Each structure stands twice: as structure tokens, then as C-alpha cells.
Chains A and B, each alone.
Chain A
Amino acid sequence: MAKATKNNTIKLKFDSARNLAPAPESKSAAKINERYELFIDGKFQKPLSKKYFATINPATEEKLSEVADANTADVNKAVEAARNAYDKYWKKTSPKERAKYIYRIARMVQERARELAIIETLDGGKPIRESRDFDVPTAANHFFYYAGWADKLEYAFPNRNAEPLGVAGQIIPWNFPLLMAAWKIAPALATGNTVVLKPAEGTPLTALKLAEIIQEADLPPGVVNIITGAGETGAAIVNHPDINKIAFTGSTNVGKIIQKAIAGTNKKATLELGGKAANIIFDDAPLDQAVEGVINGIYFNQGHVCCAGSRLFVQESVAKIVIQKLKDRMESLIVGDPMDKNTDIGAINSKEQLNIIHNYLAIGQKEGAAMYQSSCAIPKKGFFCRPTIFTDVAQSSRIAQEEIFGPVLTIQTFRTEDEVLEKANNTPFGLSAGVWTDKGSKIFNMTTKLRAGVVWANTYNKFDPTSPFGGYKESGFGREGGLHGLAAYINLV
């Protein structure tokens, strides 16, 4: 019979669990044009700038396509089209008719789900498992949900009259390109606004596919305009005098610039910015499920998630066992080709982002924290980062304070509820948090005191179109999703 072995010599082996035969999704099921123009006034139009830029596959560093680079004149044209569409048709379209268009878009997103998922993965590097099972279906659900509200606004806001704002300028990030487009466009259309939307320069393709869908859905020209470009294009949208509302999802730095730019104007705004969420495990929590939640919280979408649970707080009495379980679970994660159906962690979205992450890994080690990475091999080409945890992290460490936006988790221990509340709230951000405990009363105590827009209890990273999402403090303001999401696009009179 086996002798009692010291715990630290026992090791489970997961090599064969990671080395499965390739199960690649087929690229040929998606059509990507060699070049994409700007979608303005219902037509794909050549940019006045006459300039284009390339978008690449971060997993292979190969060029996928090139897209138009909109300058100020192009932005003016798009806003003019949106204003014209608002005054001429959309304002006068009955709510029921608006709903029909949005339903049509939702159904077409579903019908072309496979193609959209493949393009999302090729352009952004996220695993096909996620784009197939999360991004695309959740985007379709968002359209369905807001289609339902379009003709029921009088019930959403009883005894008030909900009037649209006019033209909404919407700027979205590279981490959930199609889903963020859905989050922005669906409530704007449901409430009767018209849209100028700019996807991130690194991941424009699914938004352009959505433009094709919108064109095919026969939405009146100019109601939705989708233009591509980088920061300058975004600035031109933000500064355009004929835009009534700015909806932005992205970094806190850019959020601050936008807020400065629109100060003193009549533009309304919702900003959904960065985060550094606390995920808190108490000693009475179901530990195996909590560990799974931590994994989903930080390694979902390579950690490129504004609400990622990037700060883990573990009650000290169970810290050792939780870290052990985390390490085992990390070993079974498959890192590699995002198009393989078994991949859990795909490619980092861009070289710039990979450099930022590597910089933080160096900072963490310099600060004296202990770094642990899964032992998996990573592809030589493309931008990849092993799942990483840091233990021995202090509240004053930079890696525990600043948003890394990568597959990097910091772990701190705590003793009491009060202590962890103070530490969890001790951050300039406040987008989300997680609490793991078997005790209901503790959940309610924590969730009322955590200063975060979303608090998950015994789960993490769950999204539903009916549920509002948004931040406290430097994580932004305004809510998207649910009834609250309608309020961001209307004036109540």
C-alpha cells in the first residue's frame, strides 16, 4: 500500500488532456472580402480619405483584409446621413415597424451565426468555442430583447413620454466586437435614434458583416452607419456638433478624454470603462466550483474583459488548497489555435497588448510577487500568453492596482469580511465583483457593500440582455442592458 506522501511531492499529470487531435473549424465557411468600404447611408462607399489600413489575424499575424480609414470629412458624411435618416424616416417610423427591423437583424445574426463566429475568431483571436457559444448568440439575444421594447416604451416609462435623442455616436472596443456593436445599436434603434458606429481598428470585420446584414435587412438608409478608423476617427465623432449622444466602451484614459471633449456641450454620454474586479472566496465556499468561477472570471477571452475577476481574494484558511486547485485547473487549459474547437485560451488581440501584458509580468516579478504559469507549450507564431497567477501580492502592488487586460490573476489573502470589503473597494475602478460563499446572509451583506456595478454570487461573467451592466467610479457611468439601457437613449418628457 502506498505510503503517506508529503503533499508537495504529489503532482497530477495533464499532458495528454491538453494534447488532443486537432479539431479545427473550417475557414471556408466564412467569406471575407479583400477590402471593405465605409457603410454610409445604406451603401458601402469609398472613403474620402482614400486611405485603407490592414486588419490581421493575431493568431498567425497574417493579413485578413483591409478596411477604409475614415477622416473628418467621412465622419461628417456619416453624421449627415444619420441626421437625414432621423429627420426623414426614423423619427416618423412607428414603434412597431422599428421593432420589425430589429427582429429581422436578430434573426439574420442567428442565421449567419457560424460565419460571424469564424470571422470574430479570425479577426480577434478569441477561441471559436467562445465566439460560437457566447459572443454571437448573446449578440442575437440583445437584438431580440430590445426589439421587444421598441413598441412598449410607454410601459417601460409609465406616464412619461420617451423621446429619442437624435443621432448617437458609438465607439466600441476590440474585445467583444460584434457583441458590443449589438449592445450599442439595439437599444438606440429601439428608442428611435439613428447611429454612427465605429468599431475598433484592430477588429472591424464583424461590425462590417453586421453592416451587410443591416443592408440586407433593408433598414432605411442612414439609420445605421458603420465607419472604420482609429483614434482620430473616434475623436471626429466625439467632437461632431450634430451628434446628440456618445456611447463609448473602452479604456478609462480615452473615457476621460471624451468626457473633457464633451464638457459644456449638450451631448449625453454613457461610458463603460476599465475594471479591476475583486473575486472573493470565503472559507465556507464550494471550493471546486469557486475555482472554476475564478478560471472563467480571469481567463475568459484571454482576460480581455473589462469586468474580468483579476484580483482574487481568498480567506487565508483555505488559500493553500484554493491555489493548489487553481494550478491543477490551469494545467488542463488548452492554449493555442483559436480556430480549434478545443482551445480554451486563444491569441492575445494584438502585439501592443501582448507587450503591455509582458510588461506587467516583469513588474509583478520585480515587485517580489511569485509568478506561476501553466506548463503548456504556446505557438511560435502569433501573440500568445500562458495563463498566469501571482501569489504573495500586496494591496500596494501595481499588478493589483492597474488593469492588465490579459490572462493574469493576482491573489491576496484576507481574514475577515470587513477587511476584504475594504480591500475590494480600495480601487479607482468599480465595474464588477464576485462573492463565493455557501451562506446566503453573507452574500447579501457583501453585495450591498461592494461598490461595483455588477456583483455575481457563486458564479462569474454571466450576461443577459435583461440585466443592466455598467460601472462605479472610474469604470464609467450609465447602464447598458435591461430597462436601464433604454434610459440612456431617451429624453423623458
Chain B
Amino acid sequence: MVVTKSIPDFSLSPHIDQVGVEERAKRFTTRSIKNETKINGLKLALNMIDLTTLEGKDTDGKVKQLCYKAQHLHDSYPGLPTVAAVCVYPSMVKIAKKALGDSGVKVASVSTAFPSGQAPRDVKIRDTKFAVSEGADEIDMVISRGKFHMGEYNFVYDEIAAVKEACGDARLKVILETGELVTYDKVRRASDIAMYAGADFIKTSTGKISPAATMPVTLVMLEAIRDFYYKTGKKIAMKPAGGISKAKLALHYLVMLNEVLGEEWMNNEWFRFGASSLANDILMQLMKQKTGVYQSADYFSVD
């Protein structure tokens, strides 16, 4: 469902100056977020979380508990939002879907032989179709980084387009695994490929590779989204994932989002945090804002 008719030559994607983009990303962190701006920002960040468990040892019980947490973050603080989605492996989609019921919290499923993506295309398509048939609202796919490094951009593009088709009505998040792409130039190029191939979201990382999301990488991707929007009129959502575990860092990301893409992106339709431990740090900060003191970590449920 690509709006634009012409597909650009991805080898001509804009180049990124490393020093410049890192300097710009650092400047967002000097914004001083206080009082009501802070409280609103923390609540918004909670509402943007894709609460994630992606372990080989995931079980029904683990996923059910996580789904309860997704809807009841901290009941002693009334009026808190839920998270945006719970993110699991395809085999856990059915359990999560049932546990979340009509709460409005979405089920996101990784697919396409996550996290490596080293499988034939038909396996990836079946993986995706299975997750969707089990009830996944969103699919988090990985790109073929090997092919990307080999310069086979058409392969990468076609694969994303095929997975998008397999998604049906589910929204597609395309994971670039920026820690394996290494340079900002390549992050930008992969972002362009993903968006033109039909991604609804572009996402930094699987969380299995270090470094995962960083502010400069996210900035490069946000700027790619902005350029794509001006060219095509189509909005793309963003999801940094992995490595964002502190409330303060989440606020820096929101400042960056607000200054690059503006307020239309400041909701969970257009921005997500892929994180597992971020929620509790935000809850701790919200309680501090409310009561004036920090509470022990033991007051916040660990799931």
C-alpha cells in the first residue's frame, strides 16, 4: 500500500554526519523537564510501552502475569494508563490475546525467524501468518541484515513487502537491528527501504544485540520518517527498543520526538518504547512526583 509510485535508488539515501547527529541528539538531553510537563510525559511514556517478554523459557504463566501487569501497572496510583501492547513470540500470541481481552492493550508478535531472520522466505511468511491467525494486532519482523550488507536492497525490499502482505490488517513493525548495521548511513538507508516497502513502524532493535536503541540512531530514523512524510504524505511510526530502562531517558526520547516530528506523533499510534523494565522506573518517578519521596523498588511489582 505504498503511496508513492516511484521507488527511489536506495544507494542514494542521504548521508549522515556522525559528529553532527550525535551532537544534536545530546542537545535534547539538556532540556529540563519539570512539573506538569514531566508528569504528562511520564504518563505518556507509560502508555507508549510495548511490554516485552522474548525468552526461550517463556511460558503461559509468565505471559499471563505480564498481561495482567500491562493492564494494572500500579493500582495504588489511580488513573494511570495501560501500556500500548504486550510483545511476545508467535507461540504465545493466543495466551496473550485471551489474557488481554477487550482491555485495548494490543498484542504484538515478533516473527520472520526472530531475532536472526536467517530462514527462507516461505518460513517467514508462514511464521507471520500464524501469528496473525492467532490474533496478533501487530507484527514485529526483522530484516535480512546479511543481504542488506551484501547490497541486495531489492531482496530486503521484496521481503518486507511480502511480509506486509501476509500481515493483512495487522500493523507491521520492521526491525532494522541497527547494532548490526553499525553506521548511521546504513541505518538511514535501511529506514528508507523499510518505509517504501510498506512498513507501518520502523524499529531499531531486537533487544538481543548490543548496542540496541540509542538516541542518535533514533534521531536518524525520525528524520527519515519526516523526509518520507514530506515526500509521500504518509505517516510512519517509530519504535526504539532495548536499552531504554530509565524514565529520564524516556523523557529525552519524547523531547526528541516532539522536536523532530511534532505533536502529531506524540501518542502510541505513532511512537512506542520496546522495553521490559522501563515501566517500573517510570512508576517510581510518578510516585515520587506525587508523594515527594522515592519509594523502595519492592513497592513495584516485578514481572
Contact = CB atoms under 8 A, between A and B. Distances in A.
A12 B20 contact: no
A335 to B, nearest CB: 14
Contacts of A22: 34-35
B183 to A, nearest CB: 12
A20 B37 contact: yes
A7 B259 contact: no
A1 interface: yes
B258 interface: yes
A441 interface: no
Interface residues of B, number: 39
Interface in B1-57: 1, 3-4, 14-17, 19-21, 23-24, 30-38
Contacts of B14: 286-288
A16 B263 contact: yes
B126 interface: no
Contact of A288 (B16, B34, B264): B16
Contact of A2 (B33, B235, B260): B235
Interface string A317-342: 00000001000100010000000011
Contacts of B249: none
B20 A289 contact: yes
B233 A5 contact: yes
Given A21-B37, A22-B34, A12 B19 contact: no
List the 8 closest A-B pairs by CB distance, nearest first: A289-B20, A5-B233, A23-B32, A12-B262, A286-B17, A21-B37, A341-B32, A17-B258
B230 interface: yes
B102 to A, nearest CB: 26
A13 B264 contact: yes
Nearest to A458: B17
Given A7-B231, A17-B255, A289-B21, 15 more contacts: A1-B234, A3-B233, A4-B4, A4-B233, A17-B263, A20-B33, A286-B15, A287-B14, A289-B17, A289-B19, A290-B20, A292-B20, A332-B259, A341-B30, A341-B31
7 contacts: A3-B3, A12-B261, A12-B264, A286-B16, A286-B20, A341-B30, A342-B32
A1 B230 contact: no
Contacts of B262: 12-14, 17
Nearest to A15: B263
Contacts of A3: 3, 233
B77 interface: no
A6 B33 CA distance: 36
A293 B17 CA distance: 11
A133 interface: yes
